[in-house]
Structure 1
Amino acid sequence: MGRDLNEYLLLLQQLKSYSNVPNELIYSLRSYTTLVYGSDLQNRFSEPMPWIGIYIALASLFCVIAMVADLLHGLRNRKLWFPCKYFTLNAASLSLIAIAMKLPVDLNNSMPGDVDQAAKVGSMGFMCAMMSHLLPALATLDSKELVTNIIALSVLVITLVVNVCIQIETGVVSSTDVLYVLALAILKSKQILEMKYQAAHETALKDQELQQQGRLVVDKIKQYVSNYWVMAATGNPEFFTACSATSCASGIISAISTALHVIVMVSIVGSLWDFRSDYQWSALVILITQLIGSLVGTMAPLSRCFATLSFKLSIKWIWNNVNVFKVESYWTQTLSDWKESTIPFLPCSRKFKIFVENTKVIVLSFCIGFQKTVVVTCKIIGLIPIFIVICIFNCSCCWKWLKSKFNAFGIVLIKEPEQHETNKILSNYVLQLQEDAELAERTLKRISYSFERIVEKAEKQPPYNLMKLLEGYRGFGRAEKFDSHHVLSLLLEESPDCWSLLLVTLITIAISLPNITKDRVDCLLSGVSEGMVYVTIVEESLNATDDHVIFQKAAQTLWLEVEIYQKWLGNKLQKPVPLANTAGQILLWLRDTAMNMVTQVESSDTKGQNDSSKFWSISASSMYRITEMILLSNHANIDKVSQEELFEQLSSMIVDVLVACLMNLPQVIAMKCHSSEIEKREASVYAAAQLLGETMQIINAIQDSELPSLNLDDLVIIVNKWGA
C-alpha cells in the first residue's frame, strides 16, 4: 500500500480511539478507502511520465536532426529542392514519428495546463511539417514499398487526427490527402520518365563512341557521362515530386501550420510554467523541441515552392501557362487504369459480378473526381508563390530596363558576367513529364556546373601512388633478360583467375624477396594498394558471374593478409627461407609450398570444404602456376637472376596487369552511367563522375603509353577470355 492510504487508515484508527466520535461517521469515512487507494495507485503510475516525455522529445529531436542534415546536404550540393537523403520513409523513421506523436494520440492523460495544451496542439503542426518535408522521399520507393509505407503513415495520421478531434472537438489542418494524391501520381510519372529515359539512352549509345581507332578519348567519356548526368538530374522522380503542385501546396499548408504553432507559443509565454499534466516539466521540453522541428521542417517545402518556379521551369512558360484547372493525365492515370481493368472472379453468379463491377466503377470514378479536386486545390494554393515569383520577375525586368537606359547615357552600372550559351547537346537529354514544359536555361547551366564541380573535385584527388608506379615503369616491361609480356600473355591465356588474384600473387612474390629495401617494397605496395581499388571496381562491373566472384573473394581475402599482416596463407613474408638464398631458390620454395597446399586440399573431402579451404586452394593454385611459369621462362638462367632483377621483372609484370585491367575503365564508367532502377540512377551517375575524375590522369597515361608485346584489343577484352 502507498503512503497516502497508510496515513488515511492511521487517521481512521485514531478517530476510532475517541469515544465521542460516532461509529457511523467512522464507517462512512472507511468507504472512501477505495478512492484513496486508487488515487495512490494513479500517483505511482504517473511517476515515470516525465521520463516518457523526455523519450518523446528525444524522438522529435532525432527527426529534427535528420531534417537539418537534409537541409545541409541540399545546400552543399546546390539542390534547393532539398532531396530527402537522411529523413526518409522507412521503418525507423515511422517509429520515430509515432513516438513523437504520442501526445496527440494520448486519450488517457488530461492536459489541463497551458503548456500541456500547447504541446498537444503543437505536435500537429510538427507532424504537418514532417510530412511536407518527407514528400520527395515517396519517389525513392518502389511500388511495393510505396504502398506499404503510405498505408502505415496513413494509419498513424488518421489515428492522430481522430484522437485530436475527439479531445479538442475541432478540425486539424493536415496534408494527408496530398500524400494519397502524390503517391498515385508517382506510379504513373515513373513510367513516363522511364520511357523517355530509355529513348534518350538509345540516343546516347548511338551518338557516343568511347574508342576511336584503339585510342581512349577522355573528352568523349566526359561528354558521355555528362549526358547521363542531365538525364538522371531531370528524370529524377524525387525531383518531379519536389516540384509538383501538391508539394508546393503542402509547403504552404506547412507554413500556415507552423505560423499557428508560433502564435500559440507566443500566447503562452507568460505561463510557461503552467504544466499540470502527468508529463510535468517534460511537456515544456516537448513543446520547445517540436516548435524548432516545425520551423526546420517548413524550410525545405517553402524553398521547393520558389526553387521549382525559379529554376525548373522558365518564367515565360509560367506566365503563359498558369492554368489551375488543367489536371495532367499522370495525376489520374493510375486510377483510370484500375477503373478500366477487369477483376478476376472466382466461380460466382452473374448478378454478383455485375454488382462488383458497377461498384468498382462508381468508387473509382469518385476517387478520380476527388483526385482532380485535390490537384486543382493544390494548384490554387500554389498561386501564392507563383504570384510572388512573377512580381520578382517583373521587378528584375524593370531593373534591366533601367540599366539599359543608364548605359545609353554613358552611365555604366555593375557589369554582369558573360552568359555562355547552354550546351545544345545536353538539352537533347533533358527529361520532362509535360511535353510543353520548358526547362529554364539557368537550370541546365546549374546541372552542367554541378557535374563539372564533381569531376574537378575528384580530379584533384588522384591516386598519386598508383600514378607514380605507372610513370616509373613507362613502356612497361622492358627488361632485357626477361620478357615479362611473354610470361604475362601465357598466364592470361591459361589462367582462369582474375586480375586482382594475379596482382596479389605477383606482389606476394615481390615482397618475399628479403634483399629488397623496405622503401622500394613500400612504394610498390602503396601503388598496388591504390590500384586494387579500381581493379575491384572493374572486376565487379565486368565479371559478375559466379565463377569469377569466387576468385575475386579469394583475392580480397588474400590481399588483406598480404597488405596488413605481410603474410601469405599464414607464412610470414621476407622471412629467411631455409636453403633459399637466391631468387631461383625462393621461387622454388614458393612453388613447392603452393603445390603441397593444393595437394593437401584436394586430398581432403571436397564436400566438406568451407569457403576458407576453397580460398586457400585458389590462392595456392595461382601461386603455383605463376612461379612455375616464371621458372620455365628463365630455366636456363634462373640461377643467375638476382633478387634485384626478379623484383624489377615482377614490378614490370604488376604494371602490365594494372594497365591491362585499367584500360577497361572507360567501359566501366559507361556502364555505371546507366542503371535499370530509376531510383538509383542519380547515385550511379554520381559514382561514374567521381570515378572519371579520379582516373582521368590514369586513362591519359595509358593512352599515351606503348605496349609492344600485347595486343591492345586483347587487353581491353582479356577478361572475356578468362574462364573460357
Structure 2
Amino acid sequence: MGSNQYEFLHLMHQLDSYSNVPKGLIYSLRSYSFILYQSDLQNQYNEPMPWIGMYIASASMFCILAMVADLLHGLRNKKLWFPCKYFTLNAASLTIIAVAMKLPMDLNNSMPGRVDQAAKLGSMGFMSVMMSNLLPALATMNNEELVTNIIALVLLVITLVVNVCIQITTGVVSGSEFEHFVSGNRYSNPESYYNRSIAMIYVTMLLILLMVHISSSLAILKSKQIIEMKYQATHETALKDQEVQQSRRLSNVKKLKQHLRNYWIMAGTGNPQFMISCLATTSASGVICAFSTLLHVVVMLMTFGNLWDCKSDYKWSMLVILLIQFIGSVVGTIAPVSRCFAALSFKLSLKWIWNNMKVFKVESYWTQRLSDLKLGSIPFRCNRRSKLVVQNLKVVIINFCIGFQKAVVIACKIIGLIPIFIVICVFNCSYCWKWLKSMFNVFEIPWLEKHEYQDKNENDSHYVLQLQEDLELAESTMKRISNTFDRLIKKAENQEPYNLMKFLEGCIGFGGVEKFDIYHVHPLLLEELVNCWGLPLVTLTTIAISLPNIQKNKVDSLMAGVSEGLVYVTLVEETINATDDHVRNQKAAQTLWVEVEVYHKWLGNKLKRPAHEVYTGGQILQWLRDTSKKIITEVESMETRGQIDNSKFRSICANSMYRITKTILVSYQAGIDQVSQEDIFEEISMMIADLLVASLTNLPQVIVMKCHSTEIEKREASVYASIQLLGETMHMMNILQNRELPKLESRRVGIHF
C-alpha cells in the first residue's frame, strides 16, 4: 500500500469517528481510494525510469565516442574529410541510435519540466548530427548492405518523425505544466509555441537528411562503377611500365616506392568515402548539421536558467541526457562542416565556383540507377495486359523518382552555395591581407614551395581518379596525399624488424638452402610432400633450441629473429601460394610455432635441455627422427580406425622433422657424435638464415601484388599494408637486391622467385 493511500484511509477512519460528518460525503470520498492506489502503483512502476534515462545517456555517449574516434582518426591521418571508420551504419549502430532516441520516441510520458522539453528537442538535434556523420559510411557498403541499411534508416527516421508529430498534436512537446495550468490552454503560451516550432524545424531537417541519404545511396551505386572503370584503366597503365615488371624480382626499391606512390594516389582519390565527400549532398548535409547545432544551442540558452527543472518520470537523468547529447551535437558538427570546406579544397578554383553558381547541372550518375530500373524487366510472371499496366505504372513511378532525385540534387547544390560564399569571403580577406603585407614588402615563401612540388610530382596527376572529367584535383590536396605517403613510409621505417636484421647480418649467400635437402630424403607419407617455407624454418628452429649446450643469449637471438622473420615468410606464402595444400602446411607451421615458441614443446614432447653428459647432439637428432617416425606410424593407425582428430597436422609436422633430421644425420654420416653441439647449432642457424633470405627475396613481388585489390572498399587498406611492408623491409631489400639467386626451381624445397 502506497503512502498516499495509507494517509487517505487514515483520514477516512478519523471522519468515521465524527457523528456530524454526512455519511454520503464519506462514501463519495472513499471512491477516490482506487485512484490513489493507481497513482501509488504508477509511482512504483516509474522508479526505474532514471536508470533507463542513464541507459539512454550511455547509448548517446557510445555514439559520441565513435564520432570522436573518427574525428581523431581523420586528424591523425591528415584526412580532413573525416572518413567513417568507427561510427558506421550497421545493425549494431542503428540499435544504439534507436536507444539514444527513446525520448522523442516516447509518446505518452509527459514532459512537464523545461529540461524535459529541452532534452526531447535536443535528441532530435542530436539525431540530425549523427545522420550527417553517417553519410560517408554509405560508400563503404556493397549493394546489398547499402539497400538493407538504407531501408533500416528510413524506418527509424520515419518512425521518429511520426512519433514527434503525434506528440506535437497531443501536447507532449509543448510548454511547462505550470504554464499550461495557469493559461488553461497548452497552445496559448509563448514557450509552447517555440517548442512546437523548433520540433517542426527538426522534423523538416530529419526528412531532408533522409532524402539526402537516399539520394546519395543512388549516386554511390553508379559512382563506384565509374571509379572502378577508371581505376582498372590506370592499373593496366601502371603495370605496363617495364621497370615495374622488373621490380617483381629483385626490385629497384626506388622504383617500387614510386609504384606504391602511384597506387596510393589511385586508392586515395578513388576511395568511396573520398568520392562521396565531393558530392553536393555532403555539403548540404554539413550545412544542415551546422544549422541543427545552432538550433540546439538556442534550446540550451532558453533552458540555461532552469537546469534543475526536471519533473518527468526520468527525474535527474534528463539533465544528464541533455548535457551529453548537447556535447555530442557540438563535437559531432566538426566533421560534417569540415567535409563541406574539404570538398571545396579538393577542387577549388574560381572557374569551378563560377560554373556551380551559373548552372545547376545534374550529372548522370545521380539518376543512372533509376534509369536502369526503368529499362529493366518485370520480375514476376503475368499476362500481356497485366504486364502493360505494370510496366506503364513502373515508368510513371520511376520518372517521378528521377524528377524528385534531380530536385533533391539541385536543392543540395543551392544549399552548398553557403560554404562557397564563405570561402569567397575568406579569399577576399586573404587577398586583402596579402595586399597589406605587400605594402611592407613581405614576400610569400609558400608559392615557391608550391612550384617546387609541381616540378617534383608533375606525373602524379595521371593517377588521380575523379568522377567528373572537367575537374582537376587541387594542388594542395595532391601535396597532402603525397606527404601522407612519405609520412607513412618514414613511420614504417622506424618499425624495422631489428632482431631479424641482426640475425641475418652474417648471411652472405644461399648455401643453407642448397644443403637443406641435398640428399633428397623422401618423406614417409608422400601425399604430404608440399613445397613451403615456414614449416622447414620452424622445424630447423625446433632442432636448434633442443640442443642443450648452447648459450641462452644465442638461443634467444635465434628465436627472436625467426619470430620476426616468420611474419614475413607467412605473408609471402599466403600471397604467392594460396592453394589448399599450401594453406594446410602454412596453418600447420603457424600452430607448431606457437607450441615451440611459447611452451618449448614439439607435438606435445618437451624440448628438454639435459646435461651434456647425458645426450650428445647426434643422440638428440636421432631421438627427434625416431619420435617423428613413431608419430607418423601412430597417425596412420588412427586414420585406419577412423580417428581423424588432428592427425593431418601431426603428420605434416612429423614428416618435416623426419626429412630434416635424417638429412642432417646423413650429411655427417658416422661422425655426428664427434661434432660439437655449437657447430651443429651454427650450421642449423646458417640454414635458417639462408632460408629466410631466400624467402624474403619474394617481398617485392608480394608488395606489388598486395597493393592491388579487386574490392574498391578495401583498396586503400591494401595499399596501406603494402606501404607498411615496404617501409619495414626497405633496408633489407636494399641489401638483398644485388645477391645472386640460387637455381633451385626444380627442387622440392618450394623456392619461388
Whether TM exceeds 0.5 here: the answer is yes
Please report how far the alpha carbon of residue 516 of structure 1 lies from its aligned counterpart in structure 2 after TM superposition: 1.2
Distance in 1 (CA, whole Å) between partners of 2:447 and 2:516 is: 62
The aligned runs of 1:396-415 (5 Å cut-off) are 396-397=430-431, 399-400=433-434, 407=441
Distance in 2 (CA, whole Å) between partners of 1:530 and 1:253 is: 51
The answer to whether the Cα contact below 8 Å between 1:580 and 1:589 also exists between their aligned partners in 2 is no
The aligned runs of 1:153-302 (5 Å cut-off) are 153-169=153-169, 171=200, 172=203, 173-174=205-206, 175-207=209-241, 208-211=243-246, 215-302=250-337
- Runs of 5+ consecutive residues of structure 1 not aligned to the other structure: 478-482
The answer to whether the Cα contact below 8 Å between 2:517 and 2:660 also exists between their aligned partners in 1 is no
Aligned twin of 2:130: 130
Please report how far the alpha carbon of residue 106 of structure 1 lies from its aligned counterpart in structure 2 after TM superposition: 0.3
Aligned twin of 1:366: 400
Query: Partner of 2:131: helix, strand, or coil?
Result: helix
Deviations 1:522-553 (A, max 9, x none): 11111111101111111111222221111111
User: Residue 571 of structure 1: which of 605, 609, 613 is its match?
Assistant: 605
The answer to whether the Cα contact below 8 Å between 2:744 and 2:751 also exists between their aligned partners in 1 is no
Please report how far the alpha carbon of residue 642 of structure 1 lies from its aligned counterpart in structure 2 after TM superposition: 2.1
The aligned runs of 1:68-147 (5 Å cut-off) are 68-147=68-147
Distance in 1 (CA, whole Å) between partners of 2:162 and 2:148 is: 21
For residue 62 of structure 2, what is the amino acid of its counterpart? F
Distance in 2 (CA, whole Å) between partners of 1:374 and 1:99 is: 30
The aligned runs of 1:330-409 (5 Å cut-off) are 330-346=365-381, 348-397=382-431, 399-400=433-434, 407=441
User: Residue 700 of structure 2: which of 647, 653, 666 is its match?
Assistant: 666
- CA gap of 1:589–1:431, structure 2 versus 1, over 3 A, is same
Q: Is 1:541 aligned to 2:575, yes or no? A: yes
- Runs of 5+ consecutive residues of structure 2 not aligned to the other structure: 170-195, 524-528
The answer to whether the Cα contact below 8 Å between 1:234 and 1:430 also exists between their aligned partners in 2 is yes
Q: Is 1:329 aligned to 2:375, yes or no? A: no
- CA gap of 1:412–1:19, structure 2 versus 1, over 3 A, is closer
- CA gap of 1:143–1:245, structure 2 versus 1, over 3 A, is same
Distance in 2 (CA, whole Å) between partners of 1:474 and 1:256 is: 67
Deviations 1:21-61 (A, max 9, x none): 33222222222222112211211111111111111111111
Distance in 2 (CA, whole Å) between partners of 1:519 and 1:185 is: 61
The answer to whether the Cα contact below 8 Å between 1:488 and 1:653 also exists between their aligned partners in 2 is no
For residue 260 of structure 1, what is the amino acid of its counterpart? L
Deviations 1:479-512 (A, max 9, x none): xxxx762334666998525211110000111111
Aligned twin of 2:187: none
For residue 384 of structure 2, what is the amino acid of its counterpart? R
- CA gap of 1:50–1:219, structure 2 versus 1, over 3 A, is same
Distance in 1 (CA, whole Å) between partners of 2:582 and 2:260 is: 28
The answer to whether the Cα contact below 8 Å between 1:674 and 1:681 also exists between their aligned partners in 2 is yes
**Identity within the alignment, %:** 65
Deviations 1:267-313 (A, max 9, x none): 12111111211111111111111111111111101001111102344
For residue 514 of structure 2, what is the amino acid of its counterpart? H
- CA gap of 1:212–1:62, structure 2 versus 1, over 3 A, is closer
Structure 1 stretch 247-256 or stretch 19-28: which is displaced more?
A: 19-28
Aligned-residue CA RMSD in angstroms?
Answer: 2.4
Query: Partner of 1:671: helix, strand, or coil?
Result: helix
Structure 1 stretch 428-437 or stretch 28-37: which is displaced more?
A: 28-37
Distance in 1 (CA, whole Å) between partners of 2:4 and 2:438 is: 86
- Give the total of aligned pairs: 710
Aligned twin of 1:561: 595
User: Residue 449 of structure 2: which of 418, 431, 438 is its match?
Assistant: 418
The answer to whether the Cα contact below 8 Å between 2:223 and 2:365 also exists between their aligned partners in 1 is yes
Please report how far the alpha carbon of residue 17 of structure 1 lies from its aligned counterpart in structure 2 after TM superposition: 3.5
Query: Partner of 2:240: helix, strand, or coil?
Result: helix
The aligned runs of 1:276-675 (5 Å cut-off) are 276-346=311-381, 348-397=382-431, 399-400=433-434, 407=441, 418-419=449-450, 420-422=452-454, 423-477=457-511, 485-488=514-517, 495-576=529-610, 581-606=615-640, 608-610=642-644, 612-635=646-669, 637-675=671-709
TM-score (norm 2): 0.90
The answer to whether the Cα contact below 8 Å between 1:664 and 1:716 also exists between their aligned partners in 2 is no
Please report how far the alpha carbon of residue 90 of structure 1 lies from its aligned counterpart in structure 2 after TM superposition: 1.5
Query: Partner of 1:60: helix, strand, or coil?
Result: helix
Please report how far the alpha carbon of residue 718 of structure 1 lies from its aligned counterpart in structure 2 after TM superposition: 3.8
Deviations 1:554-612 (A, max 9, x none): 11111011111222122222433999633222211111111011111111235744453
Distance in 2 (CA, whole Å) between partners of 1:490 and 1:388 is: 78
Deviations 1:611-670 (A, max 9, x none): 533222211111001111122222254343221221111111101111121111111111
Distance in 1 (CA, whole Å) between partners of 2:711 and 2:508 is: 41
Distance in 1 (CA, whole Å) between partners of 2:698 and 2:12 is: 94
For residue 579 of structure 2, what is the amino acid of its counterpart? T
Distance in 2 (CA, whole Å) between partners of 1:335 and 1:197 is: 24
Query: Partner of 1:432: helix, strand, or coil?
Result: coil
Distance in 2 (CA, whole Å) between partners of 1:644 and 1:349 is: 88
Distance in 1 (CA, whole Å) between partners of 2:300 and 2:319 is: 10
The answer to whether the Cα contact below 8 Å between 2:101 and 2:127 also exists between their aligned partners in 1 is yes
Distance in 1 (CA, whole Å) between partners of 2:262 and 2:695 is: 26
The answer to whether the Cα contact below 8 Å between 2:289 and 2:333 also exists between their aligned partners in 1 is yes
- CA gap of 1:714–1:668, structure 2 versus 1, over 3 A, is farther
Please report how far the alpha carbon of residue 395 of structure 1 lies from its aligned counterpart in structure 2 after TM superposition: 4.0
Distance in 2 (CA, whole Å) between partners of 1:644 and 1:421 is: 56
Aligned twin of 1:480: none
Structure 1 stretch 484-493 or stretch 650-659: which is displaced more?
A: 484-493
The answer to whether the Cα contact below 8 Å between 2:54 and 2:317 also exists between their aligned partners in 1 is yes
The answer to whether the Cα contact below 8 Å between 2:248 and 2:700 also exists between their aligned partners in 1 is no
Distance in 1 (CA, whole Å) between partners of 2:416 and 2:373 is: 29
Aligned twin of 1:2: 2
Please report how far the alpha carbon of residue 451 of structure 1 lies from its aligned counterpart in structure 2 after TM superposition: 0.7
TM-score (norm 1): 0.93
The answer to whether the Cα contact below 8 Å between 1:84 and 1:134 also exists between their aligned partners in 2 is yes
The answer to whether the Cα contact below 8 Å between 2:492 and 2:724 also exists between their aligned partners in 1 is yes
Please report how far the alpha carbon of residue 266 of structure 1 lies from its aligned counterpart in structure 2 after TM superposition: 0.6
For residue 370 of structure 1, what is the amino acid of its counterpart? F
- CA gap of 1:236–1:47, structure 2 versus 1, over 3 A, is same
The answer to whether the Cα contact below 8 Å between 1:80 and 1:303 also exists between their aligned partners in 2 is yes
Distance in 1 (CA, whole Å) between partners of 2:479 and 2:264 is: 12
